[in-house]
């Protein structure tokens, strides 16, 4: 049985992969960066869009949909692929279509590399969203953080990190299936099981640590990460209407509490012990290549110039470990989609049986190449759950498809 309702409903939008929302706060920055404005922009037409009302702008148009972002699809039918609209006082461009999205994210990526200044994001990261990997503006700090991560998040095929990941995934899958087998088909909520398995893959891979299914502190940490994941995937009117914030004070305090508890867990169960052993030269062989080691090396090594403080290293680690929520929630959704489509299940099973000799060995990451159908099912699930969770903010005047605001 699958508990779909727990998953952020904002992730349900089937079309959102085609829709990138950009908050373009050109006004705020225009004066500052007038010199950077590209010649000729003044003559470009503004994108069409709905009428704007005082205070709310066109925010009311996002109401009445199961997911607010679904409104963008209807608006695109009316106004075309590039829509200009005010959300609260934020001037926004909503961009549809692959080529236009590529323009924003790639070709002109440097023009749109900021992230919105939502109060919620500050709350989740100790008052400063620049502590976050996903909600920060582009900066030298971010550059360092991303470079340190690359080897871990994109391990080349056949590299030792890649095969380590394979082993951790196989270990957790074995653990998960034996737990599920032990239920003898009794009703078992699958989400907590998947959350635990994914969280352990992440902590094993990034921190060289795994935790028992009955570990209460780990369980609570997983729930805290999940709460944050749910929160960041919600659209919230107060993001665009800051005068609504006083009505959200309880929610804001709750968010702070989740991130504080996560910090306590990371310190008590991952960092403190490692740091102490590291200082005594007692880091184990398999720990010496993990992400925790890379972070600690950076902050502890006296030689390097420190762009990353101890605090920002911890935030980065928490962010990355928190990525398990995205994967586990995707898997819950993917299983839900597949559960209602027996013919899809059947084809996935045939591929898996072929790849593993009817289950004679566990699946590995390399099997992906011989399982194109399963690969496509996963990609389709990602397409169906994606939401424009992290709008981009422009740092200068720019244009998309000849339209400018
Ligand atoms: C199915 C799983 C996932 C989905 C659908 C997803 C979706 C997204 C989306 C839509 C963005 C915004 C991209 C942009 O605006 O440029 C994003 C950014 C990001 N995600 Fe994920 N994500 C997933 C898994 C993960 C995982 C597992 C991690 C961490 C291990 C992660 C870490 C990040 C980070 C750090 C960013 C910010 C990237 C940057 O701006 O440099 N995500 N994700
Ligand atoms: C953690 O424990 C609570 C209560 O026992 C349970 O409801 C929740 O599903 C568990 N979460 C995970 C991820 O196991
Ligand atoms: C978070 O809230 C819970 C319940 O209100 C409380 O027991 C706990 O001490 C709080 N944790 C932190 C770190 O503030």
Is residue 237 assigned to a domain?
Answer: yes
The finding on whether 254 has its CB within 6 A of some atom of ligand 3 is: no
Q: Which residues pair with 91 in a beta bridge?
A: 86
Residues 281-307 have pLDDT tens digits of 999 999 999 999 999 999 998 776 778
What pLDDT sits at residue 358? 95
What pLDDT sits at residue 37? 45
- 74 lies in the same domain as 166: no
For residue 342, name the pLDDT band (cuts at 50, 70, 90).
very high
* Residue whose C-alpha is closest to residue 336's, from 228, 194, 202: 194
Is residue 401 assigned to a domain?
Answer: no
Is residue 126 assigned to a domain?
Answer: no
- 258 lies in the same domain as 371: no
Ligand 1 atom nearest residue 136's Cα:
40
- Which residue did the predictor score with more confidence, 390 or 101? 101
What pLDDT sits at residue 86? 94
Is residue 19 assigned to a domain?
Answer: yes
Residues 63-85 have pLDDT tens digits of 888 888 889 999 999 999 999 99
The number of angstroms, rounded, from the C-alpha of 124 to the middle of its chain's C-alpha atoms is 14
- 177 lies in the same domain as 262: yes
Residues 304-331 have pLDDT tens digits of 677 889 999 999 999 999 999 999 999 9
* Ligand 2 centroid from CA 295, angstroms: 30
What residue numbers bound the domain in which 367 lies?
341-383
Backbone angles phi, psi at 84, to 5 degrees: -105, 130
Residues 132-180 have pLDDT tens digits of 998 999 999 999 999 999 999 999 988 999 999 999 999 999 999 999 9
Ligand 2 atom nearest residue 195's Cα:
13
* Count: domains in the chain: 3
Q: Rounded distance, CA 19 to CA 33, Å?
A: 27
- 158 lies in the same domain as 70: no
The finding on whether 113 has its CB within 6 A of some atom of ligand 3 is: no
| pTM attached to this predicted model | 0.87
For residue 7, name the pLDDT band (cuts at 50, 70, 90).
very low
For residue 243, name the pLDDT band (cuts at 50, 70, 90).
confident
What pLDDT sits at residue 312? 92
Among 323, 332, 393, which is best to mutate for testing ligand 1, by the most ligand atoms less than 8 A from CB?
323
- 166 lies in the same domain as 278: yes
Q: Rounded distance, CA 26 to CA 36, Å?
A: 12
For residue 391, name the pLDDT band (cuts at 50, 70, 90).
confident
Tell which of 116, 138, 164 closes a domain.
116
Ligand 3 atom nearest residue 263's Cα:
13
* Ligand 3 centroid from CA 181, angstroms: 36
- 109 lies in the same domain as 208: no
Q: What is the mean pLDDT of residues 19-33?
A: 38
Query: Which protein residue's CA is at the shortest distance from atom 1 of ligand 3?
Result: 257
What pLDDT sits at residue 64? 86
Residue with tokens 């996963």: 378
Backbone CA torsion sign across 187, 190, 191, 192: positive
- 191 lies in the same domain as 239: yes
Backbone angles phi, psi at 83, to 5 degrees: -120, 135
Q: What is the mean pLDDT of residues 322-342?
A: 97
- Highest mean pLDDT among 1-5, 34-38, 74-78 belongs to 74-78
Q: What is the mean pLDDT of residues 21-44?
A: 46
Is residue 121 assigned to a domain?
Answer: no
**19-23 and 90-96 as β-strands: parallel, antiparallel, unpaired?**
antiparallel
Q: Rounded distance, CA 159 to CA 208, Å?
A: 17
- 92 lies in the same domain as 17: yes
What pLDDT sits at residue 68? 83
What pLDDT sits at residue 16? 28
- 170 lies in the same domain as 309: yes
Residues 6+ positions from 196 with CB-CB distance below 8 Å:
176, 213, 218, 219, 222
For residue 42, name the pLDDT band (cuts at 50, 70, 90).
low
- 220 lies in the same domain as 358: no
Is residue 227 assigned to a domain?
Answer: yes
Q: What is the mean pLDDT of residues 37-54?
A: 78
- 323 lies in the same domain as 347: no
Is residue 210 assigned to a domain?
Answer: yes
Please answer whether residues 103 and 20 qualify as being in contact, where contact means their C-beta atoms are separated by less than 8 angstroms.
no
* Ligand 2 centroid from CA 70, angstroms: 32
The finding on whether 261 has its CB within 6 A of some atom of ligand 3 is: yes
The finding on whether 60 has its CB within 6 A of some atom of ligand 3 is: no
Six token digits for residue 341: 């489509």
Q: What is the mean pLDDT of residues 41-54?
A: 86
Query: Which protein residue's CA is at the shortest distance from atom 1 of ligand 2?
Result: 219
Residue 296 CB neighbour total at 10 angstroms: 20
Q: What is the mean pLDDT of residues 54-64?
A: 91
Nearest bound ligand to the CA of residue 154 = 1
H helices present in 154-186, as ranges: 160-182
Residue with tokens 């996002």: 62
For residue 41, name the pLDDT band (cuts at 50, 70, 90).
low
User: pLDDT at residue 33 above 50?
Assistant: no
* Ligand 3 centroid from CA 257, angstroms: 6
- 205 lies in the same domain as 313: yes
Residue with tokens 């919230």: 236
Query: Which protein residue's CA is at the shortest distance from atom 12 of ligand 2?
Result: 192
């Amino acid at each position: 049985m699958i508990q779909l309702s727990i998953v952020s409903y904002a992730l349900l939008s089937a079309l959102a992969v085609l829709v990138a929302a950009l908050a373009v706060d050109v006004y705020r920055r225009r004066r500052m960066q007038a010199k950077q404005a590209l010649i000729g922009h003044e003559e470009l037409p503004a994108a069409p869009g709905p009428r704007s009302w005082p205070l709310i702008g066109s925010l009311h148009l996002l109401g009445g949909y199961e997911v607010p972002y679904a409104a963008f699809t209807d608006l695109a039918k009316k106004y075309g692929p590039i829509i200009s609209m005010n959300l609260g006082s934020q001037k926004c461009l909503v961009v549809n279509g692959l080529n236009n999205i590529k323009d924003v994210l790639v070709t002109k990526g440097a023009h749109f590399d900021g992230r919105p200044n939502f109060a919620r994001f500050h709350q989740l990261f100790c008052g400063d969203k620049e502590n976050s990997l996903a909600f920060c503006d582009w900066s030298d700090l971010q550059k360092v953080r991303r470079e340190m991560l690359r080897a871990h998040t994109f391990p080349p095929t056949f590299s030792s990190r890649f095969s380590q990941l394979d082993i951790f995934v196989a270990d957790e899958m074995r653990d998960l299936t034996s737990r599920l087998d032990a239920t003898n088909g009794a009703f078992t909520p699958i989400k907590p099981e998947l959350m635990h398995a994914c969280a352990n893959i992440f902590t094993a891979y990034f921190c060289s640590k795994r935790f028992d299914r009955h570990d209460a502190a780990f369980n609570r940490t997983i729930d805290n990460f999940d709460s944050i994941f749910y929160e960041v995937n919600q659209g919230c009117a107060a993001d665009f209407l800051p005068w609504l914030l006083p009505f959200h004070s309880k929610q804001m305090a709750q968010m702070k509490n989740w991130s504080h508890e996560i910090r306590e867990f990371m310190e008590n169960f991952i960092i403190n012990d490692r740091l102490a052993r590291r200082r005594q030269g007692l880091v184990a062989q398999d720990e010496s290549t993990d992400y925790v080691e890379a972070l600690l090396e950076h902050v502890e090594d006296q030689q390097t110039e420190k762009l990353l403080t101890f605090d920002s290293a911890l935030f980065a680690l928490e962010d990355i470990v928190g990525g398990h929520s995205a994967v586990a929630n995707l898997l819950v959704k993917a299983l839900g989609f597949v559960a209602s489509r027996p013919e899809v299940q059947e084809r996935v099973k045939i591929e898996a049986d072929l790849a593993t000799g009817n289950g004679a060995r566990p699946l590995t990451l390399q099997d992906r190449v011989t399982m194109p159908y399963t690969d496509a099912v996963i990609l389709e699930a990602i397409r169906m759950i994606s939401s424009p969770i992290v709008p981009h903010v422009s740092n200068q005047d720019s244009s998309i498809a000849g339209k400018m605001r």
